[in-house]
Structure 1
Amino acid sequence: MDWQPSCSPELLSLRAQTLQKIRRFFAERNVLEVETPLLCSAIGTDPNLDFFTTDYQLPPKQRTLFLQTSPEFAMKRLLAAGSGSIFQICKAFRNGESGRFHNPEFTLLEWYRVGFNLSQLMNEVDKLIAFLFDACPLQATQKVSYQSLFQQTTGLDPLVFSCQDYAKYAHDSDLIDATTLCGHDHVVWLDFIFSHQIQPHLGKNALCMVHGYPACMSSLARINQGNPLITDRVELFINGVELGNGYYELSDAKEQERRFDKEITIRQGNKRPNVVKDERLLAALELGLPDCSGIAIGLDRILMLLSNSATIDDVLAFSISKA
């Protein structure tokens, strides 16, 4: 019986219908569908992501290529070359990820809107989600800043780090081992507290957009013009499930390279696998990325919510255990 698909014929059909609706949504807005390589010579530097590599044999030479964790860098190269607004539905790959909401191979919807700021992108996301959930409408969309949400829940200011205050909150909230796991790392503390105390309660039968993330947490987003302590970044949640991550895109090549180098240093300190910095992306940014905002949404998680499925395996034709 191990040969059989992970999901039902009904959910295969739901996936096909959802992809058709997404393509119709963007066609009506004259957003171009594109394809970019899944195998590339460089990879993202995010300290929290691991990746797959493969050996490209072209005798007498051999090259190591990376399966992409997102199509973002190649899509930005298209934007810099004058593509205009674009979207893509593709596979992405993240090593070591498996669980209720994770499969190492998964489907992403990613799009970029030239001339859009973050607020305009959020409005378009709202329309897309409403369109996809038209058969089971959600409640009114919620938009809340990261800082206000964090303060209301914990009493802590996420923009000002005090290890002592964070440790006291963890102790009072019975967050066992938080101090040991997080140490003196502000970003790790924020991720830990947010995932345990805040995220599970976000978006009860509604789309919740959390925006204005602390500047220390965003590798690819612009610093907010009005507040240098935050970036123009948004994350999406429905029923506590994280669905997507979007930015008012950073276009400064020198600042992007500085952030890459910082993340590479963090990876080295944590003994994570070595990465190859994407010099082609940096060259594209140097030429000039148009003013734009973009977002990536996990389509398998959307399908889980649309079908009320308990695990990601239920909406995949073949999960990793059957691949």
Structure 2
Amino acid sequence: MNTSPGPESDWRPSATLEVLKLRARLLERTRAFFSARGVLEVETPALSGAATTDPALASFATRYTGPRFPQGQTLYLHTSPEFPMKRLLAAGSGSIYQICKVFRDGEAGRQHNPEFTLLEWYRVSFDHHRLMDETGELVMDLLAPPLSLQPPERLTYREAFQRHAGLDPFAASADEFGQAARMHGISVSPELVSEQAPGAWLDLLLTHVVEPKLGQRRLTFIYDYPASQAALARIQPGNPPVAARFELYLNGIELANGFHELADVDEHRRRFERQLHARKTGKLPAVPMDERLLAALAHGLPDCAGVALGFDRLVMLACGARTINDVLTFPLERA
């Protein structure tokens, strides 16, 4: 039974006029921030012949039939503008940013809408530590006022787990992971303890125990992620090796995800192939690899760091909204 309101009552926007005006001001200030730093605003296509291979993300697919493709061509709405922006970087664009709508199937909830606004930028000659500096400057500029925040803090992934989950994520045994979960009120059956892979334990404890405690009245950056969670970030050698990656939290909400970008085209292809294998194993839809991106990387990606920031969540924090619907004009239920 469909209990959502009908067209006669849900034609109005979800966000108030005051919130829409705040959103417009934050967009204006974001553009002023990058203009003052000489970062070029760009636009790239929302539709692509390739899709993200990441098994954690689901692309919307559509079908085009017409000139150039009379037999039809499957196209994918982007989950991020990352790949075409990297093609621009390889073509010599210099530092760039983009504010755009992105699309992720299967994502709806208090902090998720399948169509949302992403702010993504890339800084040539930056590493992820320098990009953390700039990300903190931008978010502090946009949120103060109205929020009064303490100075940002930085914790390694290991420090965050030791402080909030009471274990070392790189050294804990299956029994220790299970004990930590139960200690924090997560019900785990004994037979499941030995079956869970370390990555599954880390995801469970991060989302249910660590994340809710991050960024209380201050920006909190988490960095030095496990190498297994590098995505498309560089791997830094060490014991253990870690990913040159960071995430930003405020009031338990993840705001941004950044990398010191991987430039090695061969390693890129290997990671894409591993992701495609994981999709097949998990019985997820097969998707085409982005060969144009790989060709651009073969030409040469400049040393750079990039970050994607959820703009709707930023607006939520700025106005104290409880759900993402409160800062969108027409969310999924009213689109």
Contact 2:123 2:131 in 1 (8 A): yes
- Identify which of 307, 312, 315 aligns with 2:324: 312
> Matched residues in 2 for 1:286 and 1:6: separation?
45
Per-residue CA shift, 1:188-235, capped at 9, x if unaligned? 221111110110011111110001100001210000145552111000
Contact 2:178 2:188 in 1 (8 A): no
**CA spacing shift, 1:306–1:103, aligned 2, 3 Å:** same
> Matched residues in 2 for 1:280 and 1:293: separation?
20
Give, in angstroms, the shift of residue 149 of structure 1: 1.3
Counterpart for residue 95 of structure 1: 105
> Matched residues in 2 for 1:103 and 1:161: separation?
35
| Larger mean Cα displacement after TM superposition, 159-168 or 139-148 | 159-168
Contact 2:178 2:193 in 1 (8 A): no
**CA spacing shift, 1:271–1:101, aligned 2, 3 Å:** same
1:302 paired with 2:314, answer yes
Contact 1:223 1:230 in 2 (8 A): yes
Counterpart for residue 156 of structure 1: 167
Q: Which runs of 4+ in 1 moved over 3 A?
A: 171-174, 177-184, 225-228
Q: Which runs of 5+ in 2 are unaligned?
A: 1-8
State, as a whole percentage, how many aligned pairs show the same letter: 48
1:216 paired with 2:228, answer yes
Give, in angstroms, the shift of residue 78 of structure 1: 0.4
> Matched residues in 2 for 1:155 and 1:264: separation?
34
Correspondences of 1:28-177 after superposition (within 5 Å): 28-58=36-66, 60-136=70-146, 137-160=148-171, 162-177=173-188
1:241 paired with 2:253, answer yes
SS in 2 for 1:113: strand
Contact 2:164 2:213 in 1 (8 A): no
Per-residue CA shift, 1:266-313, capped at 9, x if unaligned? 111111121211111111111110000000000000000000001000
Contact 1:182 1:189 in 2 (8 A): no
Contact 2:158 2:168 in 1 (8 A): yes
Contact 1:182 1:188 in 2 (8 A): no
| Larger mean Cα displacement after TM superposition, 80-89 or 43-52 | 43-52
TM-score by length of 2: 0.92
> Matched residues in 1 for 2:192 and 2:51: separation?
30
Correspondences of 1:1-12 after superposition (within 5 Å): 1-12=9-20
**CA spacing shift, 1:42–1:74, aligned 2, 3 Å:** same
**CA spacing shift, 1:182–1:202, aligned 2, 3 Å:** farther
> Matched residues in 2 for 1:182 and 1:79: separation?
45
Amino acid at match of 1:315: V
Q: Which runs of 5+ in 1 are unaligned?
A: none
Give, in angstroms, the shift of residue 90 of structure 1: 0.2
| Larger mean Cα displacement after TM superposition, 47-56 or 226-235 | 226-235
Instruction: State how many pairs are aligned.
Output: 323
Amino acid at match of 1:105: E
Per-residue CA shift, 1:43-78, capped at 9, x if unaligned? 111111111000011263200000011000110000
> Matched residues in 2 for 1:253 and 1:160: separation?
31
> Matched residues in 2 for 1:294 and 1:309: separation?
27
Counterpart for residue 4 of structure 2: none
Per-residue CA shift, 1:115-140, capped at 9, x if unaligned? 00111101101110111012123111
SS in 2 for 1:91: strand
Per-residue CA shift, 1:134-182, capped at 9, x if unaligned? 2123111011100111123333322246333323333444312477499
> Matched residues in 2 for 1:130 and 1:45: separation?
33
